[in-house]
């Protein structure tokens, strides 16, 4: 079975400004890299075109008031916050991004491919039901999960590894016990939420797990989170589908965050995620691109790394561009690891009343 990649050249048409971190080169450079590496010549890879999500799909997550606002402002140009302008025509491209996530889920569900990477933009995980934020307009992964739920998929595990807390996704599924939202994110950092005590409400209590990462957290730290928290909870939750909010802004060269992941580290984390999907849900796994702003020195390599891992390729060739490597030593990895141990302890304490593995 193959690995799908969702992409459309219209994703390059969205631009808030040429110097905005979330700019079209994020995907343009990744595509160049994938072509150079011969990814699309590999018989294990299938390039899939998305279609726009329907308004009905969007309304499963967002309020009518917000959708009407976006449609209106998208015709003339508007504004949500300082990081998130509404350029003319963004609504159509945001619908194509959400539709890309849905198409990825459909391709997996229909067994056209084993798993799929939705290489889409604009990103989505900060978008709440009633407003966009932080470069996001529509919550792509949430729209995808609501689409899956309508097609009989009951239990979805979201792994949001973007460096920023997925506050929009958390809010959407906060009271849903069928969607386990696990977020790792740098703290302190935008948007300022994602403490361990934010753990869900009502039926959803215990089904939101926030793991704050100290600045400097490295590949080793992430692996510790996977072993100590993600694997035991996945074993107990037993998901029917795994959805990754793949934010690639944990890389040590990312200009707007302070973590210390490498491209190889990303590939290894995805390898572990693929193993979980094989173990619990017949390999059903979709990764949806979120952030990642080291446009030249990281994003093409981290994206390549996760695609290679999803397709079961040899990841030993995934390397960092050598001229950037000296930067890695400035990120305080040892200090971060000790603080991360404390944070994991806090997470286990909060969740010991919901999960047997922590009690
Ligand atoms: Zn981010």
User: What's the CA-to-centroid distance between 67 and ligand 1, angstroms?
Assistant: 23
Q: Is the pLDDT of residue 302 over 90?
A: yes
Q: Is the pLDDT of residue 292 over 80?
A: yes
247 and 293 Cβ atoms separated by less than 8 Å: no
What's the domain count of the chain? 1
Q: Is the pLDDT of residue 331 over 80?
A: no
User: What's the CA-to-centroid distance between 168 and ligand 1, angstroms?
Assistant: 12
- Separation between Cα atoms, residue 293 and residue 165, nearest integer Å: 16
Three-class SS of residue 141?
helix
Query: Which pLDDT value is given to residue 297?
Result: 86
Is 185 among the residues known to form the active site? Answer: no
Stretch among 74-88, 131-145, 225-239, 313-327 having the lowest mean pLDDT = 313-327
User: What's the CA-to-centroid distance between 335 and ligand 1, angstroms?
Assistant: 22
User: What's the CA-to-centroid distance between 135 and ligand 1, angstroms?
Assistant: 9
Query: Which pLDDT value is given to residue 317?
Result: 87
Percent of the chain at pLDDT > 90 equals 93
Q: Is the pLDDT of residue 330 over 80?
A: no
User: What's the CA-to-centroid distance between 316 and ligand 1, angstroms?
Assistant: 26
Q: How far is CA 8 from the centre of its chain?
A: 18
Q: Is the pLDDT of residue 22 over 90?
A: yes
Burial (CB < 10 A; 0-12, 13-18, 19+), residue 56, is exposed
- Separation between Cα atoms, residue 297 and residue 311, nearest integer Å: 23
Token code pair at residue 338: 């000790």
> Given pLDDT bands bounded at 50, 70 and 90, which one contains residue 324?
confident
Q: How far is CA 325 from the centre of its chain?
A: 25
Q: Is the pLDDT of residue 272 over 80?
A: yes
Q: What is the CATH number of the domain that holds 294?
A: 3.40.800.20
The reply to whether the predicted model has a pTM over 0.95 is: yes
Q: Which tens digits make up the pLDDT trace of 185-199?
A: 999 999 999 999 999
Query: Which pLDDT value is given to residue 325?
Result: 81
Q: Is the pLDDT of residue 321 over 80?
A: no
Query: Which pLDDT value is given to residue 355?
Result: 98
Catalytic residue among 8, 62, 125, 126: 126
Query: Which pLDDT value is given to residue 319?
Result: 85
- Separation between Cα atoms, residue 308 and residue 311, nearest integer Å: 5
- Separation between Cα atoms, residue 166 and residue 186, nearest integer Å: 11
User: What's the CA-to-centroid distance between 158 and ligand 1, angstroms?
Assistant: 15
Q: Which tens digits make up the pLDDT trace of 110-153?
A: 999 999 999 999 999 999 999 999 999 999 999 999 999 999 99
> Given pLDDT bands bounded at 50, 70 and 90, which one contains residue 327?
confident
Name the average pLDDT for the chain. 96
Q: Which tens digits make up the pLDDT trace of 215-231?
A: 999 999 999 999 999 99
> Given pLDDT bands bounded at 50, 70 and 90, which one contains residue 322?
confident
Query: Which pLDDT value is given to residue 171?
Result: 98
Domain that holds residue 246: 3-358
For residue 121, whether the previous peptide bond is cis, meaning omega lies within 30 degrees of 0, is no
Token code pair at residue 73: 């402002």
User: What's the CA-to-centroid distance between 236 and ligand 1, angstroms?
Assistant: 28
User: What's the CA-to-centroid distance between 87 and ligand 1, angstroms?
Assistant: 20
């Amino acid at each position: 079975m193959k690995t799908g990649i969702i992409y459309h050249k219209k994703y390059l048409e969205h631009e808030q400004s040429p110097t905005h971190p979330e700019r079209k080169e994020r995907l343009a450079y990744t595509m160049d890299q994938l072509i150079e590496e011969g990814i699309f010549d590999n018989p294990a890879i299938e390039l899939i075109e998305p279609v726009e999500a329907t308004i009905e799909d969007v309304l499963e997550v967002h309020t009518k008031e917000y959708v009407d606002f976006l449609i209106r402002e998208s015709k003339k140009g508007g504004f949500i916050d300082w990081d998130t302008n509404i350029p003319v025509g963004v609504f159509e491209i945001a619908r194509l991004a959400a539709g890309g996530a849905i198409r990825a889920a459909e391709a997996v569900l229909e067994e056209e491919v084993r798993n799929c990477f939705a290489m889409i933009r604009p990103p989505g995980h900060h978008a709440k039901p009633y407003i966009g934020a932080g470069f996001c307009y529509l919550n792509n992964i949430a729209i995808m999960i609501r689409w899956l739920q309508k097609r009989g998929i009951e239990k979805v595990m979201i792994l949001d590894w973007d460096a920023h807390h997925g506050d929009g996704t958390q809010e959407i599924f906060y009271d849903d016990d069928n969607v386990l939202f696990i977020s790792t994110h740098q703290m302190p950092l935008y948007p300022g939420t994602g403490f361990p005590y934010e753990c869900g409400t009502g039926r959803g209590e215990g089904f939101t797990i926030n793991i704050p990462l100290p600045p400097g957290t490295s590949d080793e730290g992430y692996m510790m989170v996977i072993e100590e928290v993600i694997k035991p909870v996945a074993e107990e939750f037993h998901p029917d589908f795994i959805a990754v909010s793949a934010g690639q802004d944990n890389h040590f060269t990312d200009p707007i965050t302070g973590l210390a992941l490498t491209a190889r580290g990303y590939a290894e984390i995805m390898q572990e995620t693929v193993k979980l999907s094989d173990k619990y849900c017949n390999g059903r796994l979709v990764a949806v691109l979120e952030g990642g702003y080291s446009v030249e020195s990281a994003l093409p390599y981290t994206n390549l790394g996760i695609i290679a891992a999803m397709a079961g390729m040899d990841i030993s060739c995934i390397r960092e561009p050598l001229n950037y490597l000296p930067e890695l030593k400035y990120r305080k990895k040892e200090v971060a690891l000790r603080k991360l141990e404390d944070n994991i302890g806090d997470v286990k304490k909060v969740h010991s009343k919901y999960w047997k593995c922590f009690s």
